[in-house]
Amino acid sequence: MPRSRIVKSAKYAVAALYQMNKTAFYVDGFNLYHAIDALHNDRLKWLDLWKLASTFLRADEELDRVVYFTALMKWDHQKLMRHKEYLRALESVGVECIVSEFQKSTRHCKEQQRHCEFHGEKKTDVGIATRILCDCFADGISRVILLTADSDQVPTIAAVRGVFPQLSVSIACPPGRGKIARELCSVAHDHREVTPGRLDQCLFPRNVVNSSGKVVARSPAKYQPNRLGGQASISIKSLHGAAGF
């Protein structure tokens, strides 16, 4: 074999050896939010999902995307403003935010013994399922990690494993939700419950700034007490450097 061909073959072998596997991380926003809310520690809600996703990577993996599914509570102004601020923080570090809506309905309320208005989140479950499947078909993903405890996603995971047997599927359970996610975990290759300690290591600073030093998002006062330990901000550039960007 000519020397040039040997050198070329060697280069391809080295490239294949160091090729990283693509991992995609999907977050059921309200499923995670309610689990954190049950911990009664609001500062954990100022959570950097890209950083959290990075803690689940194996040695041969790179984080290709983080997709966050949520809906805006437009009838509560303070919650709406906090949520929008959080979306700006997430988008600034590369998280793709898929925002759906709530639908208002009137149902009988046993507690009040009368008919009351309820707001139900719409489109999120279907949105998660279709997005995962579309990404698997289109983008050469090697591993899917889904952060939820919702058993409605059992058919999604079963479908992914059936159509893409070479693909690895992991479930990250929100804190305290491991027991109710048993059915979901049983159809995945592996699973792990996210601990409060892991969340605490993956928080945004009070001010999230871009590479030019401009503040793009500020932590709501509700999320701030006794958390920052003197660190007031972090640059997007350094944050992405830690995540392989």
- Structural domains of the chain, ranges and CATH numbers in brackets: 21-242 (3.40.50.1010)
Q: Tell me which range, 91-100, 207-216, 220-229, is most confidently predicted by mean pLDDT.
A: 91-100
Q: Is residue 62's pLDDT more than 70?
A: yes
Mean pLDDT is lowest, of 22-36, 57-71, 182-196, 208-222, for 208-222
Q: For 98-155, write each residue's pLDDT tens digit.
A: 998 755 556 656 676 665 554 455 578 899 999 999 999 997 899 999 999 999 999 9
Mean pLDDT is lowest, of 23-27, 31-35, 77-81, 224-228, for 224-228
CA 47, CA 204: separation in Å to the nearest integer? 6
